[in-house]
Amino acid sequence: MSRSCHVALIGQKFMGRAHSNAYRQAPVFFDLPMRPVLHSIAARNAEELAAFATQWGYPNHTTRWRDFAKDEAIDLVDVATPNDLHAEPSIAMLEAGKHVACEKPLARTLDEARTMRDAAKKSRRRTFVWFNYRRCPAVAFAYRLVREGRLGDIRHVRATYLQSWGGPDTPLLWRFKKKYAGSGAHGDLNAHIVDMARFLTGDEITEVHGAVSRTFVKERAIPGPVKRGAKKTGKSDVDDALLFLASFRGGAVASFEATRVAPGHLNANTMELNGTKGSLRFDFEDMDVLQFHDATVPDREQGWKRIICTSAGNHPYAEAWWPDAHGLGYEHGFTNMVADMMRVLGGEAPEVPLPDFADAYETQRVLEAAVISARERTAIRMREVK
Amino acid sequence: MSRSCHVALIGQKFMGRAHSNAYRQAPVFFDLPMRPVLHSIAARNAEELAAFATQWGYPNHTTRWRDFAKDEAIDLVDVATPNDLHAEPSIAMLEAGKHVACEKPLARTLDEARTMRDAAKKSRRRTFVWFNYRRCPAVAFAYRLVREGRLGDIRHVRATYLQSWGGPDTPLLWRFKKKYAGSGAHGDLNAHIVDMARFLTGDEITEVHGAVSRTFVKERAIPGPVKRGAKKTGKSDVDDALLFLASFRGGAVASFEATRVAPGHLNANTMELNGTKGSLRFDFEDMDVLQFHDATVPDREQGWKRIICTSAGNHPYAEAWWPDAHGLGYEHGFTNMVADMMRVLGGEAPEVPLPDFADAYETQRVLEAAVISARERTAIRMREVK
Amino acid sequence: MSRSCHVALIGQKFMGRAHSNAYRQAPVFFDLPMRPVLHSIAARNAEELAAFATQWGYPNHTTRWRDFAKDEAIDLVDVATPNDLHAEPSIAMLEAGKHVACEKPLARTLDEARTMRDAAKKSRRRTFVWFNYRRCPAVAFAYRLVREGRLGDIRHVRATYLQSWGGPDTPLLWRFKKKYAGSGAHGDLNAHIVDMARFLTGDEITEVHGAVSRTFVKERAIPGPVKRGAKKTGKSDVDDALLFLASFRGGAVASFEATRVAPGHLNANTMELNGTKGSLRFDFEDMDVLQFHDATVPDREQGWKRIICTSAGNHPYAEAWWPDAHGLGYEHGFTNMVADMMRVLGGEAPEVPLPDFADAYETQRVLEAAVISARERTAIRMREVK
Amino acid sequence: MSRSCHVALIGQKFMGRAHSNAYRQAPVFFDLPMRPVLHSIAARNAEELAAFATQWGYPNHTTRWRDFAKDEAIDLVDVATPNDLHAEPSIAMLEAGKHVACEKPLARTLDEARTMRDAAKKSRRRTFVWFNYRRCPAVAFAYRLVREGRLGDIRHVRATYLQSWGGPDTPLLWRFKKKYAGSGAHGDLNAHIVDMARFLTGDEITEVHGAVSRTFVKERAIPGPVKRGAKKTGKSDVDDALLFLASFRGGAVASFEATRVAPGHLNANTMELNGTKGSLRFDFEDMDVLQFHDATVPDREQGWKRIICTSAGNHPYAEAWWPDAHGLGYEHGFTNMVADMMRVLGGEAPEVPLPDFADAYETQRVLEAAVISARERTAIRMREVK
């Protein structure tokens, strides 16, 4: 008989839905030592809140997330709010003795992230950060191949996270304001691929060699009804795109690119690793697939192999789901993550390692270094090169 | 009746073959105002030379390229030698009143390139640089789409040239020695994609934001028979990979990456452009294809369209060749280039613009800026970010 | 406030799981006029049954499906059993006044299918057949494009359903015995693509021009523990592969191929339509994508467009799920189907038409014609052609 | 020193160009025991003929191909004419003691093909049939893999040759008239894929299980200037599409489909083989690539591998051409074929077997069986299946 883990969620938007679904589905599909039980939902909008609670099956709802601290029935608090509301509830709940799962990026700034990391360390509770893409079966399988030495020494990391929803017609959502989001595409998208690069290589970035940040759309419409006489547009003060180059301790060179203005790419979270013995390639737009090039087979038979990572007994998480090539979707990464969180809370090992606040802090340091590099403008100007 | 252009070639290796084939084929497939006629071939290895001349149909051959200067029958000298032998023959032949076609990269260094540019300017003869990929039908078609405004304002340029032949088993060819090659993957491969980015966008790079250069294999076997007692290995002093970030005048941000050590990539000359109205994508490993994403069609029908650019009357150069989707290969880029060179020498317009020494000098400036950026080590060290 | 539809399920294997998940998920993600409520589960294996009921949330379970007839609380009976147990419970439940949803193929034989169709007609209850692939967003979007005339007159239908799990190591499951399954790959896989071809074209097959059926593996191990002295292997008496050619009323020619022994294909449910104005292509192994070739755009811009069919407001069912290109999986087809079933039972229109017993009977007629064609051996023998 | 083979060509259209180019290029790129030398060209249109001879380097030209018989200097006659002019010149030239290379399909009818086969047998001269696709490096490499047993027993052959140029705007070319062409898409396209299937499997078809033939466009404009009062359109009496099913002696089942009216396909000569140990896939629209699925590697690493077949020393014909992934095109299949023809005439072995008249006659028998099957209308009518 599995024990129960009572979950309280803060946030009821996109991530609130994704997390809620994961808590509902994980115990049905996985055999787990700990069973997540939906306990409470907190959010600002009281009206939407009741409907959300009913729809997803939360017995309790509140507009005051702080009350969770006092509720002894709650074991895990899940922070699925905009970035400006990560640090405060995470730290408060850790101090109240709860386990905490927080959305990515960990925080708006490195300073904020540090306070969260320190609070986690002090609390001795479990922390988790929702870098959900680690738990796509193809990514988890890539992790294993790298661990088995199939790539040899890694020399190249080539990562992009390209989207296209950030054109001038998109209004001034919280994601375009630094005070809420910390940064734009950088924290939202580069956070994922920096985490994935660190996760897959098992290596750490030691240098950032240059960066360029761009805000292509500087003025955006204020969303929702605008009061008479009020300004109709506002300033976006975050990056629409940020690219940077880096080196890993082991010698690999790496490029990272995040953008919200690349037509043709909806959710192109891609990563390629080239090593002395082979290469791997992942693209979330073809999420169940891992491309593998084994450079140790005879030359005449070398090529990229398209492996559909859905085979029970062969690929991570596949056992829980459907027959081979009866594909999984975006939401399954979250469900797989809840399964691993429950394993960890129940004393078992996760399928592949889970990121905690300390780990996410390392990712945040890399993001910070890229921001510094972009800001310090050590660029070579072409007019000086003659 | 078309006039003749008598061609003298210097170099008989890979590029010597590719150019010779192009001169042979162009007048058969294209209707041209000027007909290339093979006149002479010069190379160092006298033995191989005679066989090469016979095989390819050169009536004359010599080990002394300088003699071309005095031969009034020669109209065009083609310099298809290693990079250390670009400047000297090019300048000498320009001074002798010949038109000159030179292999890329234009030179080993920016200083060398400048002397060549200046010699070209002074000579008032035609110069050409063998950036052959401009003349892939798919690339030339991309050029036209950009000119027609189909991409809107370009915001992203994403270029790679990935190969994998440079592992530790590859001996110390001239390509791995700075005194012959100038640089490694950078001059060999980044030269192509910098040229292509400038060509397609019609824009110039104004800043280089950072670069990282890496020599993964530092010691290589000396090729050919090694004398008793002599060293069996030597030092490679060029980059195996070089990545850099840049900005264009028009505001686009760009990444460039060249490598010889990326298993799975044999000749992955790839470029993607993202603009406000659409995107284009080219990969030489699928060379007849241009991927086009038109962001102005209704949302429900947006997607990457795979256009096979081989339709006579619709795509550049297609008229000269075979029916639709009866594909072209690597060599056709060279043949198309000879056709355009002959058009220009015959007073007609090329299908798309040809790069001359002045143009290639601009590409060389960008390469130089990347080298400076990589060397000056303005990297942010992660240990300083806490 | 939506009404409830109490569901009783028969069968607890692969399809029992897929359907149960769909009933659980549909009301959470969709806003429906009728809410499915899990009421009872029936299956043979009493031991597994209790666990299944608990896991999926069925308040009642029984080994006697016939009892459902008497239970007035049950509105809909879902028949998710092997093919030999489709007709009997479907007819019994229709006679008891229940709506019935039955797995595909409708029946083992055309005779059986006819009795089911007739029972459905007589009952005036709603029937549904689980041709789940109709409700992949990409397939439903294809349906709309065809309806809008985007393909013009359809001339070619090219359909395959290729799998590879049926090698000699696979034991003698019920799927390999005619008395349980009716047929092999034919009823299992061709049923899907015949349904999809009829659905997408809106046209009916008028002739079957030839067929070939093959049982490659004739003897298979008996699964599970075999009694001492009993035979260890048994005979497979169904097809491993069946191919046939057909014509549609509108003049299109069509090929259908089903197989369980095609290495490299795990679940390659593919369909291509070529019409006078354009073409469409679907492959379930890339399930969120519809390939569209619009032959009415200028020649130079023609090509296959890869449309990711996940855009809310633009593609069927997308509104209910996640942001663009945050992909869906196999299970979502079932959930989308439950949503449409509930809409129909609640008096609303489904997103795209649902197959009922009368419709599935037409598919079964086509399957039967192919079996007759293969059996009657009107093949031309090559030795007679000289 | 290699001997010379003097070549006379009949025909100066599409195939005349393709063959002429091949004779020019083969001796430059390959080291051959026999060197093709262009000797004469014959064609009907005297005006075009002289220009063609000059352009391609034929020293002699004539409108009377029969004169070739008397010219002792001619060694090989190449028949590159429409199908109605295959048998007569081929037989005449064989009787005159010439080697003969004939375009495909061998003949309009099986009777005609038989007389050609018999003439070839009697002559003891070499015959060749231009099934050029055998000599794509990827196809020749597939041949080798099959010979090495990498597929095990072949169970499925799936072949298409899809084009789209045959819409109603295409005029009544000779290819649409039975008296010139024999058949439509069938002889033009199915001939290629039947040859390729026989070549790759090394097996023979024993039965044709059904076929369907369709002429979608029955009336076409008469091409060129039409005399006043003359009819402006004429009847097409050949198939626009023909599909058939077959069995091979070894037990494999096969489907073949040829069409000229499939938008989105320009030259989709595709073939897939599925065997007990693996699968192969070729698509001429990606001609340098062979897809290989090895079913003997561990399950978790199975997938389609995209092998670019351009590696010198590893892939057939690659040695003669360019570095790895510096792709080849359509014309190279012809050049590779001339190289192999010259090897055979010079007493050496070809890279892979060449089809002669006897071999092409076997392909023609299969085509004939399909025509009989389509004509005899043994189709099952759906209205009889109730």
What is the pLDDT at residue B119? 98
Asked if A328 reaches chain C (Cβ–Cβ under 8 Å), the answer is yes
Contact between A322 and C330 using a beta-carbon 8 Å cutoff:
yes
pLDDT > 80? residue A226: no
Q: How far is C197 from chain B (nearest CA, A)?
A: 22
**Mean pLDDT per 10-residue run, chain D (386 residues)?**
90 96 98 97 94 96 97 98 98 98 98 98 97 98 98 98 97 97 98 98 97 97 86 96 98 98 97 98 97 98 98 96 93 98 98 98 98 87 89
CATH 3.30.360.10 spans which residues of chain D? Answer: 137-286+288-322
Identify residue C355 by its one-letter amino acid code.
P
Asked if omega into D105 is within 30° of 0 (cis), the reply is yes
> In chain B, whose CA is at the least distance from the CA of D287?
B327
Instruction: Give the SS3 label for residue A33.
Output: coil
- In angstroms, the CA B88 to CA A34 distance is 76
In whole angstroms, give the CA distance from residue C23 to residue C17.
10
The predicted model scores a pTM of 0.97
Q: What are B191-235's pLDDT values in tens digits?
A: 999 999 999 999 999 999 999 999 999 999 999 887 888 889 999
Interface test with A, best of B110, B209, B247 (most A CBs within 10 A): B209
Model confidence pLDDT, tens digit, residues D149-168: 999 999 999 999 999 999 99
Q: Is the pLDDT of residue A41 over 90?
A: yes
Q: Mind giving me the DSSP string for C283-345?
A: EGGGTTEEEEEETTS-GGG--EEEEE---TTTSTTGGGS-STTS---HHHHHHHHHHHHHHHH
Residue B129 half-sphere exposure toward CB, CA atoms < 13 A: 26
Find, in chain A, the residue whose alpha carbon is nearest to that of C14. A322
Instruction: Check if B300 contacts C (Cβ < 8 Å).
Output: yes
Confidence (pLDDT) at C105? 98
How far apart, in whole angstroms, are the C-alpha atoms of residue B103 and residue C267? 50
CB contact under 8 A, B365 and A381: no
Residue C365 has its nearest CB partner, among D276, D303, D385, at D385
b/e sequence D87-118, b meaning 16+ C-beta within 10 Å: bbbbbbbbebebbbbbbbbbbbbbebbbbbbe
CA pair distance D276, D267, nearest whole angstrom: 29
Chain C residues closer than 8 Å to A309 by CB: none
Distance from CA of C166 to the nearest CA of A (A): 13
**Contacts of A among chains (3+ CB pairs under 8 A):** B, C, D
| Mean pLDDT computed over C376-386 | 85
Residues of C in contact with D374 (CB under 8 A): 209
- Chain B residue whose CA is closest to C312: B300
Size of interface B-C (CB pairs under 8 A): 44
Distance CA C326, CA B163 (A): 32
Contact A380 B369 (CB under 8 A): yes
In chain B, CATH 3.30.360.10 sits at 137-286+288-328
pLDDT of residue C1: 54
Neighbours of A82 (CB within 10 A): 18
Residue B81 in contact with residue B48, Cβ under 8 Å?
no
Nearest Cβ partner for A314 among D292, D300, D306: D300
Nearest C-alpha neighbor of A24 from the set A9, A34, A35, A15: A35
Looking up tokens 């466009």 gives D217
Instruction: Give the residues across from C37 on adjacent strands.
Output: C6
For C156, the closest of D110, D241, D244 (CB atoms) is D241
**The one-letter amino acid at C21:** N
A357-376 and A191-201 are packed helices; what angle lies between their axes, rounded to 10 degrees?
Answer: 120
User: Using CA atoms, how far apart are residues A156 and A271, in angstroms rounded to an integer?
Assistant: 10
Listed by number, the residues of chain A in 165-184 with a beta carbon closer than 8 Å to a beta carbon of chain B are 167
Cβ-defined contact of D279 to C264 (cutoff 8 Å): yes
Among D205, D245, D274, beta carbon nearest to C210: D245
Q: Which residues of D touch B330 (CB under 8 A)?
A: 322, 326-328
Would you state the torsion angle of the CA atoms of residues A149, A267, C282, B151, taken in this order, to the nearest 10 degrees?
-120
How high does pLDDT run on average in chain C?
A: 96
Is residue B73 within 8 angstroms of chain A, CB to CB? no
Q: Which residues contact A297 (CB under 8 A, 6 or more apart)?
A: none
> Does residue A225 have a pLDDT over 90?
no
Asked if C331 lies within 8 A of A310 by C-beta distance, the reply is no
Are D244 and C210 an interchain contact pair (Cβ–Cβ within 8 Å)?
Answer: yes
Helical axes C357-375 vs C110-123, angle rounded to 10°: 170
Q: Is the pLDDT of residue A377 over 70?
A: no
Per-residue pLDDT tens digits for A261-313? 999 999 999 999 999 999 999 999 999 999 999 999 999 999 999 999 999 99
> What are the structure tokens assigned to B148, written together?
């027609």
Contact yes or no for D266 and B310 at CB 8 A: yes
Are the beta carbons of B41 and B78 closer than 8 angstroms? no
Mean pLDDT of C210-218: 97
Pairing verdict, β B99-102 and B127-129: parallel
How many alpha carbons fall within 13 Å on the CB side of residue B260? 23
In terms of C-beta density within 10 A (0-12 exposed, 13-18 middle, 19 or more buried), how is residue D317 classed?
A: buried
Question: Residue D236's closest CA among D222, D218, D216, D260?
Answer: D218
- CA-closest candidate to residue A186, choices A137, A136, A238: A238
Q: Which residues of D touch C372 (CB under 8 A)?
A: 380, 385
Q: Reduced to 3 states, what is the DSSP secondary structure of residue A330?
A: helix
Whether C21 contacts chain A with CB within 8 A: yes
Touching subunits of D (3+ CB pairs, under 8 Å) are A, B, C
Task: Give the chain B residue whose CA is nearest to the CA of A384.
Answer: B369
Name the token pair of B202. Answer: 């019609």
Report phi then psi at A92, rounded to 5. Answer: -60, -40
Comparing CA positions, the residue from D23, D29, D26, D28 lying closest to residue D41 is: D23
pLDDT tens for each residue of C124-134: 899 999 999 99
Contact in structure between B201 and B252 (CB atoms under 8 Å): yes
Cis peptide preceding C298, ω within 30 of 0:
no
Exposed/middle/buried for D4, CB within 10 Å: 0-12, 13-18, 19+?
middle
B14 and D286 within 8 Å at the Cβ level: the answer is no
pLDDT of amino acid A1: 54
Q: How far apart are CA D253 and CA D245, in angstroms?
A: 7
Picking from A253, A263, A304, the nearest residue to B214 by CB comes out as: A253
Which of A276, A295, A379 has the CB atom closest to B209's CB atom? A379
Q: Nearest residue of C to residue A18 by CA position?
A: C322
Interface test with B, best of A118, A156, A213 (most B CBs within 10 A): A156
Q: How large is the average pLDDT for residues A164-187?
A: 97
Q: Which residue in the block uniquely carries the two structure tokens 């073409």?
A: C279
List, edge to edge, every strand of the sheet that includes B3-10: B60-62, B34-42, B3-10, B76-79, B99-102, B127-129
Q: Is B266 on the interface with A (CB under 8 A)?
A: no
Per residue, the 3-state secondary structure of A165-177, as one string, reads CCCCCCCCCHHHC
Residue C312 CA from chain centroid, whole number: 25
CA dist., res. B144 & res. D177, Å (int)? 40
Average pLDDT for A168-173: 96
pLDDT average per 10 residues of sequence, chain B (386 residues): 90 96 98 97 94 96 97 98 98 98 98 98 97 98 98 98 97 97 98 98 97 97 86 96 98 98 97 98 97 98 98 96 93 98 98 98 98 87 89
The CATH number of A3-132 is: 3.40.50.720
CA distance C342 to chain D (A): 31
Q: Give, in words, the CATH class of C137-286+288-326.
A: alpha beta
What's the CA gap between C56 and D124, in Å, rounded?
77
Q: Is the CB of residue A304 less than 8 Å away from at least one CB of chain D?
A: yes
C374 Cβ partners below 8 Å, 6+ apart? Answer: C211, C212, C213, C242, C244, D209
- List C307's β-bridge partners, or say none: C290
**Chain B: residue nearest D164 by CA?**
B324
Q: Cα D157 to chain center, whole Å?
A: 18
Q: What angle do CA C326, C329, C333 make, to 5 degrees?
A: 120
Output the pLDDT for position B377. 64
Decide if B289 contacts B138 (C-beta within 8 A): yes
User: What ipTM describes this predicted complex?
Assistant: 0.96
Interchain CB contact of C284 with B (< 8 Å): no
A106 with A361: CB under 8 angstroms? yes
DSSP per residue, D163-200: ----STTS---GGG-HHHHSSSHIIIIIHHHHHHHHHH
Predicted local distance difference test score (pLDDT) of residue D1: 55
Is A301 within 8 Å of D311 when comparing Cβ atoms? no
Nearest to C287 among A18, A266, A327 (CB): A327
Fold of the B137-286+288-328 domain: Dihydrodipicolinate Reductase; domain 2 (3.30.360)
Query: CATH 3.40.50.720 region(s) of chain C?
Result: 3-132
The answer, yes or no, to whether residue C58 has pLDDT greater than 90, is: yes
Q: Nearest-CA neighbor of B331 among B6, B20, B13?
A: B20
Whether C306 and B311 lie within 8 Å, measured CB to CB = no
Could you tell me which of C163, C157, C341 has the C-alpha nearest to residue C244? C157
> Domain D137-286+288-322: which topology?
Dihydrodipicolinate Reductase; domain 2 (3.30.360)
Task: Give the chain C residue whose CA is nearest to the CA of B308.
Answer: C303
B373 vs A contacts (CB less than 8 Å): 210, 379-380
The encoded tokens of residue C123 equal: 């009952």
Strand partners, B156: B253, B274
Residue with tokens 């090989």, as numbered in its chain: D76
Question: Can you give the pLDDT at residue A376?
Answer: 84
How close C375 gets to chain A, by Cα (Å)? Answer: 32
DSSP single-letter state for residue A279: E
Rounded Cα distance, D371 and D376, in Å? 9
Which secondary structure element, helix H or strand E, spans residue A359, and what is its range? helix A357-376
- Residue C259, phi then psi, degrees to nearest 5: -155, 155
